Amino acid sequence: MQNIKNIIFDYGNVIFSIDFLRAQQAWKQLGINNAAEFFGHKQQDEIFDKFDRGEVTSDEFRTYIRQKTGNQALTNDQINTAWNSMLLGIEAGNNELLLNLKDKYRTFLLSNINAIHYDHIMAYLKSEFGFDGNDHIFEKTYYSHLTGKRKPEPEIFDLVLKENSLDPSETLFIDDSPQHLAAAQKLGIQTFLMTAPDTLQQFFKREKL
């Protein structure tokens, strides 16, 4: 990693801890038998991609879940709670690290997210840290459901690069999904795969960035 001037951060399992197994268990409890195939880190039902792009609304997503479970009595809160169960929170020190990095680099957030998770996380940031979102931590934030594009589609990376006049060779992208990194690499972006038990704070200390 040389000549880094810009850093693009994924959110889930880079900054904000998530647990896919908890979501799978929650879907199973609602009545989805093939929960691991229905939703996972590397494969998922097409409804999740559509939800990430904002192509379906929260109500349409919940209607789909009721259809998949065969249970029309499921409430909005039951579905939201199951879906949000994977969202664990932010490790102490991550926000402070990101604020410090903003003084040294041009920093951006690029997250595959949906309306239900977005609302939950915005409420969490307000209650836990008093933050009104993430806009003060990064130069600019990109949420898939607001852009209509999601990783690993090259269009979302092109958007970030071109909109901010970033040189890919001077840009580092940190993500926990190999398929997302592969797409960024094709555009000449430097990448790092975040895998547990490694952490964002350990990475920056180790790399002396």
What is d(CA 73, CA 187) in angstroms, rounded to the nearest whole number?
47
Pick the CATH number of 6-17+90-207 from 1.10.1370.20, 3.40.50.2000, 3.40.50.1000, 1.10.260.40: 3.40.50.1000
What phi and psi, each to the nearest 5 degrees, are found at residue 188?
90, 10
Q: What is the pLDDT of residue 118?
A: 98
pLDDT of residue 149: 96
% the chain with pLDDT above 90: 94
Counting beta carbons within 10 angstroms of the beta carbon of residue 40, is it exposed (0 to 12), middle (13 to 18) or buried (19 or more)?
middle
Domain borders along the chain are 6-17+90-207, 20-84
Give 40's pLDDT tier (boundaries 50, 70, 90): confident
- Inform me whether the pLDDT recorded for 42 exceeds 80: no
φ/ψ of 57, rounded to 5, equals: -85, 170
**89 - beta bridge partners?**
17
pLDDT at position 205, please? Answer: 94
Residue with tokens 């933050």: 131
Q: How much of the chain exceeds pLDDT 70, in percent?
A: 100
- Is domain 20-84 given the CATH code 1.10.150.240 in the classification? yes
Residue 41 has pLDDT above 90, yes or no: no
Q: Which of 10, 52, 175, 176 is catalytic?
A: 10
Tell me whether residue 77 is one of the annotated catalytic residues.
Answer: no
Measured at the alpha carbon of residue 198, what is the angle toward residues 81 and 6, in degrees to the nearest 5?
90
95 vs 133: CA distance, rounded Å: 12
Query: pLDDT tens, 60-118?
Result: 999 999 999 999 999 999 999 999 999 999 999 999 999 999 999 999 999 999 999 99
Q: State how beta strands 87-90 and 16-18 pair.
A: antiparallel
pLDDT at 152 over 80: yes
What sign has the CA pseudo-torsion 62, 64, 65, 69?
positive
pLDDT at 33 over 90: no
Using the predicted structure, report yes or no on whether residue 1 has a pLDDT greater than 80.
no
